[in-house]
Structure 1
């Protein structure tokens, strides 16, 4: 970066920050591959590090420059061995780089732009800015579509020289295996972030009843009938509606149908987890010491909880009609205990360096002391974890207080909400002056 003497005498501008010293950039890139790459493996290490030592092409003119900016934005607030910036300055420069990356990527469609935005999403999720995070993921999905990455993955590169029938292809076929692999990883990381970060979310489900006059597509069997046959069926009947239709939680038939589907999905997940390939993978490596396997395991458990949590307890006011579903309760508790085992076996160093997408999973286990400790350790890096740790600290302090008198949002105590459902309410609560969560 700019010389240390000038940094303290005047304000350094964002444009001057582009002139990173080779040592500083090397430090931050090494930090990325050491502490972030294990759970976010979208870049090829040797190729990127080689670019930092390529004196033939100025770094600002390199196609990888936007990727370097994203790496600096993510790593600078926490690690920089060769630069004396204060913590506040690092945060400011990180925010500047983040904004530069987004604006540059929007105006320049390329694989490197997509990679840079994917990297930047880590900042927003780790800070608990989930709305901003989802906006960036939506941008990533659109960029991946425009670049034709899904087509590449589906076609296995066999027909990339033929006319595209799936989507516009803005990239020429990959010329190297590394380039091909980076495209594949960019596509799947986008899909993983989109699905994993919203797993279990039931936005507005249970908050208001479905519109009575709403129409949903019918299922394919009914749709295949001739016109005269269709007249005998009502497309609005739940028996013939498609997967687009919703469940009425107050209806005994709908709840039974929902329970049946949950059990079917649960059995499919268990079959996958118990398959020979998965079992061998999990047995070859200590799960708690491998970032990817930790994510696989806790995501599996989160999926189980997401399946059952809204059916475990009856809807408000309908307890006498339906009663609790004890099978669902037991499956949720079993998944919580499994995650607790994984968190307990994970070292402090790994917890501190773990992906921010683990934070919601740590927020789930029923062992409260373990949960608080895990969040406190993750909070060494992620503000999001510190926020949820504060939530639990207040909940523990108010445990003998009536829910109506609690300072926490009332949604926190409603077990039919997922963590994602109540996140916005908790974020607003955490921004109150008396809470004062230090960044």
Structure 2
């Protein structure tokens, strides 16, 4: 996750198809002998931590792989291919986000139903923020860029809209956090102060 925006080979392996971490907080509370005989397939939710790791090890590989490619966006054929691949990855991220939201609801209902702000679990917030950052990194090269910064840039409205959506979503999520919750996410503690100025600039 810490290298989500780099354009060099991070050495990560391609994700295993349908690779999941079938663990839940309640599962690890069981006696060891029960864990050894229980079928993981019967669990319909994972812990917030495992959901975060699933995203980092599976979905972010596609972002890394895409950013490592060399593109000449001044060339029409390259630009069209870039847009096509970027949109496919974005669609994959959108599907993952929907599955993530559903998994979080199942997790909260199953294990944290008594907690008022269970959705602000640090791992849930971190996953949301990195997911939004991935969308921004995916599309920023063809989002609206002021001419004084790059006169040759040809903005793609779809890219701009997706970046704005991701920025708004991240700002909303971080601003919902209390100072105590932010203390568990030092990266977002400083980001909260600058979020409006920084992300609105996109």
Q: Which residue does 1:309 correspond to in 2?
A: 140
Structure-1 separation of matches of 2:135 and 2:104: 20
Structure-2 separation of matches of 1:364 and 1:250: 33
1:217-273 CA-to-partner distances (Å, cap 9, x unmatched) read xxxxxxxxxxxxxxxxxxxxxxxxxxx752112212111111111111111111122
Query: For the Cα contact (< 8 Å) 2:72–2:78, is it kept in 1?
Result: yes
Q: Which residue does 1:338 correspond to in 2?
A: 169
1:329-359 CA-to-partner distances (Å, cap 9, x unmatched) read 11111111111111111111011222x4546
Query: For the Cα contact (< 8 Å) 2:71–2:79, is it kept in 1?
Result: yes
1:279 to 86, 99, 102: 102
1:342/1:247 CA distance change after superposition, 3 Å:
same
1:256 aligns with 2:90: no
Structure-2 separation of matches of 1:370 and 1:345: 16
1:313 shift after superposition: 4.0
Q: Which runs of 5+ in 1 are unaligned?
A: 1-124, 131-136, 142-149, 157-174, 179-184, 206-243, 372-412, 416-439
Structure-2 separation of matches of 1:331 and 1:350: 27
1:268 aligns with 2:115: no
Query: For the Cα contact (< 8 Å) 1:339–1:362, is it kept in 2?
Result: no
1:363/1:301 CA distance change after superposition, 3 Å:
farther
1:334/1:192 CA distance change after superposition, 3 Å:
closer
Q: Which residue does 2:124 correspond to in 1?
A: 293
* Rg larger for: 1
Structure-2 separation of matches of 1:292 and 1:270: 19
Q: Which residue does 1:347 correspond to in 2?
A: 178
The CA RMSD over aligned residues, in Å, is 4.7
* Count of residue correspondences: 150
Structure-2 separation of matches of 1:311 and 1:287: 36
Query: For the Cα contact (< 8 Å) 1:305–1:332, is it kept in 2?
Result: yes
1:364/1:335 CA distance change after superposition, 3 Å:
farther
Provide TM-score, normalisation by structure 1. Answer: 0.27
1:342/1:274 CA distance change after superposition, 3 Å:
same
Query: For the Cα contact (< 8 Å) 1:199–1:303, is it kept in 2?
Result: no
Provide TM-score, normalisation by structure 2. Answer: 0.54
